[in-house]
Structure 1
Amino acid sequence: MPARIAIASLMQESNSFSPLKTTVETFASYYLLHGEEMLTGYGEARTEVPGFFAVLAKAGAEAVPLIAAYAAASGTVTRQAFDTLVGEMERRLRDAGPVDGLLLALHGALVVEDQPDGDGEIIQRMRKLLPAATPIGVSLDLHGHITPLKLQPNVFHIGYREYPHIDMYETGQRTAEILLDIVAKRRPMPAMALAKRPLLVSPVCTRTTDGPLRPIAEEARRMERAGEVIHAALFPVQPWIDVPDLGFAALVCAEDAARAQAVAEKLAEMIWRLRSDFFPDLTPLEEAIRIGLASDGMTLVSDAGDAPTGGSAADSAAVLRALIAAGADRAARLSYLTICDPGAVAAASAQGAGAEVTTPVGHYFSKQDGAPVTITGRVLSLSDGIYKMTDGGPNGLELSMGLTAVIAIGSIRLLARSQPSMEWDKAMYVSQGLPLEDAALVFVKSPAHFRQSFGPLAARIISANTPGPTAPDMRRIPFTKATRPLYPLDPI
């Protein structure tokens, strides 16, 4: 009989400092797929669950889809929403009958109002529903918050290898392949080992393509190629969650428990020795604007402090205010930026394309973090804000910015949208009639992932030291629950 493998996914990256709460409606605004809807609901997206399906189909195994919910990054998840979604996962797993294994696609940094490790609770609840010997394979984002709660019996974990995240689909494939090997008794259940260090680093400087993390990631890959371990994952962690035991983790999957622990400790110690190198090179916002307006080519600027993929509301007016103060609206070349503000979009929509609109913009959600800027501009276009990622990692994934307006404020092009969404792919701008080659300055609310898509078109890339709930300078984050001491907040 072919193996029967249950598949489920509940993915959200929490931010303890976001003004937004994550509800079932938040998940539904991205995607919420029930049962067999999962088989076609991903479309062409190259993410973990399609990777699961591909491996099972090739092996002739039966996929038993349960539920798939995704909410990108936002504030903490309400207990009601969490129990609603996990409850459905539990019910569908019970109703599925006997299965030979379970594949879970999780983020790893989901925080519930009353549970600092929501992903760990999911794994624990699924483990209790299955026979003790039934294997569970879990795929995790490289920014997961790894705790002992995740290390349940007969559960193995496979993390992304790359940041920017260009291997989501491949991570799903690796996880499914290992699970099928276990089910077919081609390999024993691997041992998992965790090692952590009290280190917080900004995603601005944890790329695996360059910078201080690259040699450590390369050592992990060397160990895998040499057969020393099955998988060695590095987790720089989502740094904007205010939870105990926050830190940089190495999580190793190996056939031997002692070897797994030794390798995890080796990688964690390599990271710790380089801790002073993991501080981002940040430029004051005003200086970044000056450079962009005065230089040839396109200057690409990371507004990391307001990154929706870190959980920000993406509604800060800091960049818009600084652009106007610097005279970018009167410059000879264009400047692009985005702000999530449903009120400003509604005002633009009421006036219509081609009309002039005067409206406050910014801090629609994060009123405690700043004041809006009142602008007068011409509405260049209105759209439903739907576009498809083409070269930002999970290619083929369809995203929605909600009702969207492009407003010209002199030489500034403001892409105002109704809901926050990841700013990884240049299709965000291009889909709204804003080709990047026309701009002197392009702002992206992302700490690092944007480099994959936007980077090849830029003459230079600058990380601005912008404020917000995803501030790239870790010392600006007002932690109250994180275990201390914690570098670089504290001298260690």
Structure 2
Amino acid sequence: MRIIAARFNHETNTFSPVKTLLESFAPLYGEEALAFGTGSATAFGAFVDHALAQDADLITPLCATADPSGPAPRDAFEALAAPIIAAVRDGCDAILLDLHGAMVAEGIDDCEGALLARLREAAPDVPIGVALDLHGNVTERMIANCDCIAGFKTYPHIDMRATGDHVLRMMDKILSGAPKPNMAMVHAPILAQTLKMNTEVAGIMTDLIAMAREAEAQDGVEAVTVFGGFPLSDIADAGVSVVVVAQSAVMARAVAGDLAAAAWRGREGFVYHEEPLKASLARARSAAEAPGNGPVLMLDHGDNCMSGGTCDTVGVLQGALAAGMAGIVAGPICDPEVVAQMTRAGEGNAVTVELGNKVPLPGFAPTRPLALSGTVSFARPGRYVVSGPIYTGQTCDMGRAAVLEVEGATVLVTERPHEPWDLGVFACAGVDPVAARYLILKSRMYCRPVFEPLSRAVVECASAGITSSNLGLFDFQKVVRPVYPLDPEMEWAPPGK
């Protein structure tokens, strides 16, 4: 059996000024893609290991992932789609794809739908199975051009490989001669805030995931996924959707409609109400005085790397220092100029820098960098291996990194925007984040599996950044209106209800 497995991931923040280039995807082809996938804690890894276990003729034309950022150039999308399409045209028995579901390129608002349509045209009768991110903005074009879809059920995403296994179970049935299943999607007009999709706390998303698992236990239902969507991707199909794979088309539509109706009834639960930064700082100070171990984890979610943030805003750090807070560890803050300056100064030497606030944010008033004087304690390459549970074993590269010791704070500065996946972010630079009194991270969710258990409290800090949780700050042009909560008085019911 000839199986094609590929990974092609990008979550696009259409408001982000962070450029997405071909090299941003760090594409791997052929044997290098296979090596990455083997044993990987991703859906692609599940595909690769399953095919190898079957002694299949496995083709891995592409493994490419870019951190969330602005729309990709059209030619980058075409260059990365081409090897997958070429491999399919050479002939195959099955196609397994690890995609995101919210990728936008210049002139293509639905990259996944465009790729799947081309693959379906190239191989009309070959089964196509797709794993998607929980934040996918799923479209009818995606549904029409594949045979089964399953998406993550956790956020933070710790079930990427399990989702690949789910796709494989459905594909194995198809390949063994069972009738192809039916798929149905119902799109609920809700722009859900990502901070309200946390599946590790009680809330509407947790309730819907429980309903999805319950529905999957029914005879004839093979997969039920509640996609929260990615609200900062301004396309027509942005928002919440429910996708059901079932033996019966009637059952698929019924289950999708029921869950979409439940999402609509609980729509207020998808709205995140920010508190002013001053209030968050006061809560952090109170938490630091309370009994407990570890730092107060302060999440700068307005400038979140994994939602397309620049990682160079300094409002939370500046506010904390101005409030007299001390014992701070902050970072990574992306400022290549400051990294270069600190590297030239050298470890152990004094330096004065103008940190951050250098990337203009569309729609936001410009702000000045933060002047800091201190000592360089580290200036070397910032590389580490993730210990888990997300991307376990993967080597991460922050570019050159530098640590600045100032009165009240230790600040990690990097050449590249980088999500704090792991303690290794700081440990590779000689910093112990757990020893801090306050730990300021540019993250919404992905840091939590590692850092939250080590912290005495978590305080979400709103900052003026391109990943703000206040959707009212963004000029939406393409999303279909009315949509909640931008149009709070709207009414809606799923088809047939």
TM-score range, shorter chain: over 0.9
Partner of 1:208: 199
Q: Deviations over 1:355-380 (max 9, x none)?
A: 11112111333366432112112111
Contact 2:284 2:459 in 1 (8 A): no
Aligned-residue offset at 1:272: 0.5
Deviating more after overlay: 363-372 vs 259-268: 363-372
How far, CA to CA, are the matches of 1:468 and 1:392 in structure 2?
A: 28
Partner of 1:63: 58
Partner of 1:144: 136
Contact 2:11 2:102 in 1 (8 A): yes
How far, CA to CA, are the matches of 1:249 and 1:361 in structure 2?
A: 40
Aligned-residue offset at 1:67: 1.0
Partner of 1:343: 337
Letter in 1 for 2:115: I
Letter in 1 for 2:227: F
Which of 204, 226, 248 is residue 256 of structure 1 equivalent to? 248
Q: TM-score, normalised by structure 1?
A: 0.93
Q: What's the secondary structure of 2:244's corresponding residue?
A: strand
How far, CA to CA, are the matches of 2:487 and 2:146 in structure 1?
A: 37
Letter in 2 for 1:261: R
Aligned-residue offset at 1:89: 2.3
Instruction: Please tell me whether residue 103 in structure 1 is matched to residue 101 in structure 2.
Output: no
Q: How does 1:321-360 map to 2 (within 5 A)?
A: 321-328=318-325, 331=326, 333-360=327-354
Q: Are the structure 2 counterparts of residues 43 and 56 from structure 1 closer, same or farther at C-alpha, using a change threshold of 3 Å?
A: closer
Aligned-residue offset at 1:340: 0.6
Deviating more after overlay: 200-209 vs 69-78: 200-209
How far, CA to CA, are the matches of 2:266 and 2:426 in structure 1?
A: 37
Which of 249, 267, 273 is residue 275 of structure 1 equivalent to? 267
Partner of 2:369: 372
Contact 2:39 2:46 in 1 (8 A): no
Aligned-residue offset at 1:4: 1.2
Q: Are the structure 2 counterparts of residues 487 and 454 from structure 1 closer, same or farther at C-alpha, using a change threshold of 3 Å?
A: same
Letter in 1 for 2:263: I
Q: Deviations over 1:412-471 (max 9, x none)?
A: 111101111223333322332222321111122222232211110111111122221111
Letter in 1 for 2:338: A
Q: What's the secondary structure of 2:348's corresponding residue?
A: coil
Q: Deviations over 1:242-276 (max 9, x none)?
A: 11132210011111111111101111110110111
Aligned-residue offset at 1:141: 0.3
How far, CA to CA, are the matches of 1:299 and 1:352 in structure 2?
A: 31
Aligned-residue offset at 1:178: 2.1
Q: What's the secondary structure of 1:92's corresponding residue?
A: helix
How far, CA to CA, are the matches of 1:199 and 1:481 in structure 2?
A: 14
Partner of 2:493: none
How far, CA to CA, are the matches of 1:285 and 1:408 in structure 2?
A: 24
Partner of 1:85: 80
Aligned-residue offset at 1:44: 5.5
Instruction: Please tell me whether residue 310 in structure 1 is matched to residue 307 in structure 2.
Output: yes
Contact 2:328 2:408 in 1 (8 A): yes
**Which runs of 5 or more residues in structure 2 are unaligned?**
491-497
Aligned-residue offset at 1:281: 4.8
Letter in 2 for 1:83: E
Q: TM-score, normalised by structure 2?
A: 0.92
How far, CA to CA, are the matches of 1:161 and 1:367 in structure 2?
A: 32
Deviating more after overlay: 362-371 vs 453-462: 362-371
Aligned-residue offset at 1:17: 1.0
How far, CA to CA, are the matches of 2:324 and 2:268 in structure 1?
A: 37
Partner of 1:461: 458
Instruction: Please tell me whether residue 11 in structure 1 is matched to residue 9 in structure 2.
Output: yes
Contact 1:281 1:463 in 2 (8 A): no
Contact 1:466 1:472 in 2 (8 A): no
How far, CA to CA, are the matches of 1:247 and 1:290 in structure 2?
A: 33
Partner of 1:472: 469
Partner of 2:393: 396
The size of the alignment, in residue pairs, is: 480
How far, CA to CA, are the matches of 1:481 and 1:35 in structure 2?
A: 37
Q: Deviations over 1:166-207 (max 9, x none)?
A: 01111112212322321121x321111110111112111111
Aligned-residue offset at 1:280: 2.3
How far, CA to CA, are the matches of 1:392 and 1:322 in structure 2?
A: 32
How far, CA to CA, are the matches of 2:316 and 2:453 in structure 1?
A: 23
Aligned-residue offset at 1:228: 4.6
Fraction of identical pairs, as percent: 31
How far, CA to CA, are the matches of 1:104 and 1:43 in structure 2?
A: 15
Partner of 2:113: 120
Q: What's the secondary structure of 1:387's corresponding residue?
A: strand
Letter in 2 for 1:479: F
Q: Deviations over 1:123-150 (max 9, x none)?
A: 11111111x2210011100000111111
Q: Are the structure 2 counterparts of residues 43 and 406 from structure 1 closer, same or farther at C-alpha, using a change threshold of 3 Å?
A: farther
Partner of 2:35: 40
RMSD between aligned residues: 1.7
Partner of 1:193: 184
**Divergent runs of 4+, >4 A:** none
